[in-house]
Structure 1
């Protein structure tokens, strides 16, 4: 598996954990949009996401 695939799995898992969205909906998001949601979740929960 490549770094990009590993990162995709990590991002999708993070969003799925917090939003409970279906996999196909998460995979349809463009990378910048996924990162924006991740950043917002991190701010709301007080956690850091790298």
Structure 2
């Protein structure tokens, strides 16, 4: 079907990016936001329905 050996995407190797505190802060904040969104959209409605009827 497809041959991706020649056209594969290569990620840039930049060790400064991994060492950057700003990038880690952005990644952490994004993870917290995704978790909170998941919590409010999935668990919270069923919890409120069970508790409040």
Assess same fold via TM > 0.5. no
* Structure-1-length-normalised TM-score: 0.37
Structure with larger Rg: 2
* Structure-2-length-normalised TM-score: 0.35
Q: Which has the higher helix share?
A: 1
Query: Of the two structures, which has the highest relative contact order with CA contacts closer than 8 Å and spacing of 6 or more?
Result: 1
